[in-house]
Amino acid sequence: MQAMLRLSKLADYATVLLVHLGRHEGLATAAALAVETGVPEPTVAKLLKGLASSGLVLSHRGARGGYRLAGELEKVTVATVIAAVDGPIAITACCDGRECEHSSLCGLSGQWDVVNDAILSTLNSITLADMGRHAERLPRRGPALAPIATVGTESSSVTEAVS
């Protein structure tokens, strides 16, 4: 049996969405991002709303509205995305000085902080631009998606979907 630390599906999807959103010249709709990424549209809409609340995404309302990345892919870390979706990163309940119900018995209270700090350091050293560059080097799986039109640009440019 193999045990692993696992990223939540929502944090994974948010990372994918943000990388795709960062590649758009103008605004992108939730529907367009859903088609581009294969993430169900209700999930895309939910994530974009939360990412807008956290300041990672800017929302523009109206007929020609949509979403765009608030900053640059190079300045957003994977740790920031995970924290925005799932809350503070902590591998155990006793990380960062929090207490758990077993702290008096286990004797390791606070010792997981070293592991947690190493994970945080790594996640803070990887940007969305790094993730995007890595994805570009991978071979495509399955058929290519049809081009997606982006909204909010004067020429309504067409962006090829990247899987």
98: tokens are 């929090």
DSSP, collapsed to helix, strand or coil, labels residue 121 as helix
The C-alpha atoms of residue 150 and residue 28 are separated, in whole angstroms, by 5
State the DSSP H helix or E strand holding residue 66, giving kind and residue range, or none if neither: strand 66-69
The C-alpha atoms of residue 37 and residue 15 are separated, in whole angstroms, by 11
Q: What's the confidence (pLDDT) of residue 64?
A: 85
The C-alpha atoms of residue 68 and residue 136 are separated, in whole angstroms, by 20
CB 72 within 8 A of CB 18: no
Each residue's pLDDT, cut to its tens digit, for the chain (163 residues) gives 666 678 899 999 999 999 999 998 889 999 999 999 999 999 999 999 999 999 999 999 988 889 999 999 999 999 999 999 999 888 877 665 566 666 666 767 667 888 889 999 999 999 999 999 866 654 444 334 433 333 433 333 333 333 3
